[in-house]
Chain A
Amino acid sequence: MQHGSLYPALHRLEKRGWVATKWDTAPDRNREFKYYRLTNKGKKQLVVEESQWKQMAEAVALVMWPAAGES
């Protein structure tokens, strides 16, 4: 994956208020970078998304390996 394609996703998260950004100078380099940090709202959303992902993964597993669930 080209890492440029991360930007649309990052900006979408920022728009929804799940991440906060700030420009800061990196400690080891003499230049400014943009830092992305999870907000509280973002953390809550992460929990929701994680549980949804888990459910989804379990459902997929149940379909793919039905015998494993029974034994």
Chain B
Amino acid sequence: MRWLKTKKRDAELTRELQSDLELEEEEQRERGLSPEEARYAARRAFGNPALIREQTRAVWTWKWLEQLVRDLKYGTRTLFRSPGFSIVSVLVMALGIGATTSLFTIVRAVLLRPLPFRDPGKLVMLYEHFRQNTGGDGFNTVAPGDYRDWRSQSRDFEDLAAMRSYGGILSGVHSELPEVVQSAGGSANLFPLLGVSPVLGRTFTSAEDQPEGTPVVLLTWSLFQRRFAGDPSIVGKQIHLDTTPTTVIGVLPSWFTYPDARIQFWMPYAQTFSPGNYAMRAGHQSIVVARLKTGVSAEAATREVSSLQYQIHLANPSRPVAEDVWFRPMIDDLARNVRTPLLVLLGAVGCMLLIACLNLANLLVARSAARRKEVAVRGALGGSRLVLICEQMTESFLICLAGGGAGLLLSLASTYWLAAHWRNLPRADSVHVDGWVLAFTLALVAGAAMLAGLVPAISSTGKGLLSGLRESSRTVGGGASRARLRKTMLTVEIALTVVLVISAGLLFKSFLHLRTADLGCRVDHVITMKFGLPEIQYDTRDKVVLFHQSLLERVRRLPGVRGAALVSAAPGSEPHGDRVFTILEKPAPSYTLQYHAMTLTADPQYFSVMQIPLLRGRVFTEHERLGNDHYIVVSKQFADRYFSGDDPVGKHVQVDWATKAEVFEILGEVGDTVFDVTKPVQPAMYFPILSGIPDQTTEATIVAYTSVDPLAMSMPIQQQISALDPELPVYNALTMDQILGKTTASQGFASNLVLAFAALSLLLAAVGLYGVLSYLITQRTPDIGLRIALGAQRAQVLRLVLFDGLRPALLGLILGWAVSAGATQLLRSMLYGTGPLDPATFAAAATLLVAVAALACLIPAWRASRIDPMQALRTE
């Protein structure tokens, strides 16, 4: 219908213009001009009839839509004509857009999306800050005594709640199916403060939130589903926690995985302390979350609590009480460990996308060169520049759209893979693709299409239209400005690649450094296994020592075991914590935080089994056991830091336990072992595990040095443990190699990803270099042919072309170096064992880039030197 109407109107318009033109012609003729002259004069007075018809038609029809359809048709046809180019370009864009979308999805979920709590912008985390603490970030966990004072006296916070991570052995009422799980303690007001209500039952009451309150437990959704099959009748029933009968009072919603998805159940905060410890100021383990009152800034509210803390500090001069309180918004607090890696990865994929766009732009410039004459003719005939630009942009738009579609599919898969494989990624379960992500992808597509299409389109429709027509007869030196544009883009592309390669190199070097880190002990053929004796059954020193002793004897007798020992925590794993102490022979001038060390317990053979060298004095013997336990062995770092390297043997330290202080004599000094490879070595003191003190030695790790594959020994050792106590669960059966792999996994993950992006970018840059040079050679074929005909040596031609290609590469390299010098500063917190300006990495990146660039240039250069002069000159 509509089409018929349009057709009729077209016919009428033609008739109208025709009649006007004829009338004009008649009038001119009447003025006495010859018919020929009259026709020309009429045309001149009337104007370009084709253009006028177009413009008049535009009044009636949707011109832009028609044009769009036509452009799309042309674009699709052009793309189908060279499927190889199209497929490669779409794939490259898909990779770039897909990777950027994935990272954006994760960054949005982890760093940007508000937390799922009531009014989350008002939630801050409070930490203690020791003015003399130089290591770490200065954010220290809080002592329960300090938290309770803050809560009762602060007026600027609506409320403060505390939580701490905890562990526990969970079993049925008949001690069946024991399992060791992670748990947390939360104060009674924590869930109301966050705005979390349980899906079943209720949360804690303040009466329960007392050190000796009724034992109650809140299950997380995952434990509820996994262990209790989602049966709601569990609420009100009892389970055993560390063999204590405990009532289940509620189940938390499935979305509540704060602060960690591994937490299986929550206990009242105060019940994780003994009555004596609930008021302590020397032990720091809690995390405090506070809700701001409306209209009060976090700074002001924290200042109030901080001055409170300073009073507490002054009132306790001899104890490790912090001077200040620092705050951090809850959302930043949660993402503090992944923020830099995430942003680095996002930057890396952004660079890769930019490189892909530049590459596409470069390839499109080459293609538009082939249509230069056509564009010039159309421009000369009155085609508007905008129309011509739009037409050329369609192609890049189509490529980016197809790439965006494929990239979205790619990112759907890769986002979930990333979220699942990134260890300890907070809020990983909230990562999903939604409308915002789709909008982001569309924006990326539009941006990429603009970037990749606009530059070639503008340059090919630019001012040199007439020169385009003129040039076409002789191609010698043709398209010089175009070549300059392409070389500029290439330089930028290579500079970006250099930045990526250098960053990836630094991260990879750090990872290797961590991977090959010397733990200070035997790593091969060692299996470790943790267990914790419930303190209800193992309540005396004799019982604990009896268990440890019999276990050691049994394991040492196993075939395949060369040696076995007990330690509280194996190197590379998470240690128990540290203690403050004083040295009797060398009193500190005033109380400072310097006097603290990691506490470990070990049996006499631990040092020889793990090959930890004895440096001075001696290690424990079988005599340091039970009551005869006031002896310690210290690490090299301990002696270096607190005795300035002097002999510590025979000196005495007074250790501040929670309830009392005790004096220990130093027996000897051993080599350092490393617990966290990403941090400097900590001083350590070893206490005899055979003292059997229940709350210090019941959690133990058995380490066994085997003559066979260590993993194969894990079952026999477990059998020995269950032969002694069938209800005792065993966990973390890991070889030392596995422990080391686990601690470096997240560094390895980030560095491997960046490395992959850098490799892709390098490939793209090589393709770009090759493409530009091949194009230049094609353009200069007659020129080179002429040179060869006039006597130029092939080696000279080779050198000429090679240098032509390598110049942008070298320029890009220098530019990339300069940018990297700044960019790698941002990586500083992710680097270990190497500085951000590591000369070896910079040199290696340069060598790699020059090698790849030379390779990419060599093929076109060699081809140029093979040009047959006769053929080249004849084709002109």
With an 8 Å Cβ cutoff, the count of chain A residues facing the other chain is: 13
Q: Is the CB of A4 within 8 A of B47?
A: yes
With a cutoff of 8 Å between Cβ atoms, the chain B residues found around residue A12 in the complex are 59
Q: Is the CB of A7 within 8 A of B60?
A: no
With a cutoff of 8 Å between Cβ atoms, the chain A residues found around residue B58 in the complex are 8
Instruction: Flag whether B16 is at the interface (Cβ < 8 A).
Output: yes
Task: Please name the residue on chain B nearest to A10 by beta carbon.
Answer: B56
Which B residues, 55 to 85, have Cβ-Cβ distances below 8 Å to chain A? 55-56, 58-60
Instruction: Flag whether B45 is at the interface (Cβ < 8 A).
Output: yes
From B19, B45, B49, give the contact of A32 (CB < 8 A).
B19
From A3, A15, A34, give the contact of B45 (CB < 8 A).
A3
Q: Is the CB of B48 within 8 A of A4?
A: yes
Instruction: Flag whether A43 is at the interface (Cβ < 8 A).
Output: no
Q: How far is the CA of A13 from the CA of B328 in the complex (A)?
A: 66
Proximity string of chain B (278-314) to chain A, C-beta cutoff 8 Å, 1 when within and 0 when not: 0000000000000000000000000000000000000
Q: Is the CB of B59 within 8 A of A4?
A: no
B515 to chain A, nearest CB (A): 73
With a cutoff of 8 Å between Cβ atoms, the chain A residues found around residue B583 in the complex are none
Instruction: Flag whether B46 is at the interface (Cβ < 8 A).
Output: yes
Q: How far is the CA of A11 from the CA of B60 in the complex (A)?
A: 8
- Interface pairs (30), CB distance under 8 Å: A2-B44, A2-B45, A2-B47, A3-B45, A3-B46, A4-B46, A4-B47, A4-B48, A4-B49, A4-B52, A5-B47, A5-B52, A5-B55, A7-B16, A7-B17, A7-B52, A7-B55, A7-B56, A8-B55, A8-B56, A8-B59, A11-B13, A12-B59, A15-B59, A15-B60, A31-B22, A32-B19, A33-B19, A34-B16, A34-B19
From A2, A8, A11, A15, give the contact of B46 (CB < 8 A).
A2
Looking at A3, A7, A11, A31, the one whose CB has the most chain B CB atoms below 10 A away is A7
Query: Given A7-B17, A8-B59, A34-B16, 18 other A-B contacts at CB below 8 A?
Result: A2-B44, A2-B45, A4-B20, A4-B46, A4-B47, A7-B16, A7-B56, A8-B52, A8-B55, A8-B58, A11-B59, A11-B60, A15-B59, A31-B19, A31-B23, A33-B19, A33-B23, A34-B19
Which B residues, 321 to 378, have Cβ-Cβ distances below 8 Å to chain A? none
If A32-B19, A34-B19 touch, whether A11 touches B56 (CB-CB below 8 Å) is: yes
Q: How far is the CA of A34 from the CA of B22 in the complex (A)?
A: 13
A7 to chain B, nearest CB (A): 5
Which A residues, 12 to 35, have Cβ-Cβ distances below 8 Å to chain B? 12, 15, 31-34
Q: Is the CB of B19 within 8 A of A4?
A: no
With a cutoff of 8 Å between Cβ atoms, the chain B residues found around residue A31 in the complex are 19, 22-23
Proximity string of chain A (27-64) to chain B, C-beta cutoff 8 Å, 1 when within and 0 when not: 00001111000000000000000000000000000000
With a cutoff of 8 Å between Cβ atoms, the chain B residues found around residue A11 in the complex are 13, 56, 59-60
Task: Please name the residue on chain A nearest to B16 by beta carbon.
Answer: A34
Looking at B13, B45, B59, the one whose CB has the most chain A CB atoms below 10 A away is B59
Task: Please name the residue on chain B nearest to A2 by beta carbon.
Answer: B47
Q: How far is the CA of A15 from the CA of B20 in the complex (A)?
A: 20
Say what secondary structure dominates the interface of chain A.
helix
Q: How far is the CA of A33 from the CA of B18 in the complex (A)?
A: 10
With a cutoff of 8 Å between Cβ atoms, the chain A residues found around residue B49 in the complex are 4
B703 to chain A, nearest CB (A): 90
B845 to chain A, nearest CB (A): 60
Task: Please name the residue on chain B nearest to A16 by beta carbon.
Answer: B59
Q: How far is the CA of A11 from the CA of B54 in the complex (A)?
A: 12
Q: How far is the CA of A33 from the CA of B44 in the complex (A)?
A: 21
Q: How far is the CA of A33 from the CA of B60 in the complex (A)?
A: 21
With a cutoff of 8 Å between Cβ atoms, the chain B residues found around residue A33 in the complex are 19, 23
With a cutoff of 8 Å between Cβ atoms, the chain B residues found around residue A4 in the complex are 17, 20, 46-49, 52
Proximity string of chain B (33-48) to chain A, C-beta cutoff 8 Å, 1 when within and 0 when not: 0000000000011111
B25 to chain A, nearest CB (A): 12
Task: Please name the residue on chain A nearest to B48 by beta carbon.
Answer: A4
B59 to chain A, nearest CB (A): 4
With a cutoff of 8 Å between Cβ atoms, the chain B residues found around residue A2 in the complex are 44-47
Task: Please name the residue on chain B nearest to A15 by beta carbon.
Answer: B59
Task: Please name the residue on chain A nearest to B44 by beta carbon.
Answer: A2
Q: How far is the CA of A15 from the CA of B48 in the complex (A)?
A: 23
Task: Please name the residue on chain B nearest to A26 by beta carbon.
Answer: B23
With a cutoff of 8 Å between Cβ atoms, the chain A residues found around residue B46 in the complex are 2-4
Top 6 nearest A-B pairs (CB, nearest first) are A2-B47, A4-B47, A4-B52, A11-B59, A4-B46, A8-B55
With a cutoff of 8 Å between Cβ atoms, the chain B residues found around residue A32 in the complex are 19
Which B residues, 235 to 291, have Cβ-Cβ distances below 8 Å to chain A? none
With a cutoff of 8 Å between Cβ atoms, the chain B residues found around residue A8 in the complex are 52, 55-56, 58-59
B502 to chain A, nearest CB (A): 58
B386 to chain A, nearest CB (A): 17
Q: How far is the CA of A31 from the CA of B13 in the complex (A)?
A: 16
Proximity string of chain B (190-203) to chain A, C-beta cutoff 8 Å, 1 when within and 0 when not: 00000000000000
Q: How far is the CA of A34 from the CA of B9 in the complex (A)?
A: 13
Q: How far is the CA of A33 from the CA of B13 in the complex (A)?
A: 12
Q: How far is the CA of A32 from the CA of B45 in the complex (A)?
A: 21
B683 to chain A, nearest CB (A): 84
A66 to chain B, nearest CB (A): 40
Q: How far is the CA of A32 from the CA of B22 in the complex (A)?
A: 11
Which B residues, 1 to 34, have Cβ-Cβ distances below 8 Å to chain A? 13, 16-17, 19-20, 22-23
B38 to chain A, nearest CB (A): 16
With a cutoff of 8 Å between Cβ atoms, the chain A residues found around residue B17 in the complex are 4, 7
Q: How far is the CA of A12 from the CA of B60 in the complex (A)?
A: 8
Proximity string of chain B (458-471) to chain A, C-beta cutoff 8 Å, 1 when within and 0 when not: 00000000000000
Q: How far is the CA of A4 from the CA of B16 in the complex (A)?
A: 11
Q: How far is the CA of A4 from the CA of B47 in the complex (A)?
A: 6
Looking at A2, A4, A5, A12, the one whose CB has the most chain B CB atoms below 10 A away is A4
A16 to chain B, nearest CB (A): 10
Task: Please name the residue on chain B nearest to A1 by beta carbon.
Answer: B47
B2 to chain A, nearest CB (A): 15
Q: How far is the CA of A2 from the CA of B132 in the complex (A)?
A: 86
With a cutoff of 8 Å between Cβ atoms, the chain B residues found around residue A7 in the complex are 13, 16-17, 52, 55-56
Which B residues, 180 to 239, have Cβ-Cβ distances below 8 Å to chain A? none
Q: How far is the CA of A8 from the CA of B59 in the complex (A)?
A: 7
Proximity string of chain B (814-858) to chain A, C-beta cutoff 8 Å, 1 when within and 0 when not: 000000000000000000000000000000000000000000000
